[in-house]
Amino acid sequence: MKATVLVSGGAGFIGSHVTVELVQAGYDVVIADNMSNCDETNYRGVCSILGKELPFVRMDFCDKEAVRNLFAKYPIDAVIHFAAFKAVGESVTNPLKYYSNNLESFINLLEVAVEKGGCNVLFSSSATVYGEPEKLPVTEESPRMPATSSYGNTKQMCEDILRDSVAAYPGIKGIALRYFNPIGAHPSALIGELPRGVPNNLVPFITQTAAGIRECLSIFGDDYPTPDGTCQRDYIDIVDLAKAHVAAVTRMLKDKMEAGYEIFNVGTGRPVSVMELVKAFEKVNHLKLNYRIAPRRPGDVTAIWADPAKANEKLGWKAERSIEETLESAWAWEKHIRNIK
What does DSSP say about strands 235-237 and 4-8: parallel, antiparallel, or unpaired? Answer: unpaired
**Contact 194/13 with Cβ under 8 angstroms?**
yes
Instruction: Look at residues 92, 94, 90, 150 and name the one whose alpha carbon lies nearest to residue 126.
Output: 150
- Pick the catalytic residue from 130, 151, 179, 235: 151
Per the omega criterion (within 30 degrees of 0), is the bond before 133 cis?
no
**49-85: b or e for each residue (b if 16 or more CB lie within 10 Å)?**
beeeebebbebbbbebebbeebbeebebbbbbbbbbb
Size of the chain in residues? 341
From the number of C-beta atoms within 10 Å of its C-beta (0-12, 13-18, 19+), residue 302 rates as: middle
The H-assigned helical ranges of 77-201 are 88-93, 95-115, 150-168
Rounded CA separation 301/278 (Å): 18
Q: Please tell me what DSSP assigns to residue 231.
A: -
- End-to-end CA distance of the chain: give it in Å, rounded: 44
The H-assigned helical ranges of the chain are 13-24, 41-50, 64-73, 88-93, 95-115, 150-168, 202-210, 238-253, 274-285, 309-310, 323-338
Is 151 noted as a catalytic residue in this protein? Answer: yes
Rounded CA separation 330/204 (Å): 8
What does DSSP say about strands 272-273 and 232-233: parallel, antiparallel, or unpaired? Answer: antiparallel
The residues annotated as belonging to the active site are: 151
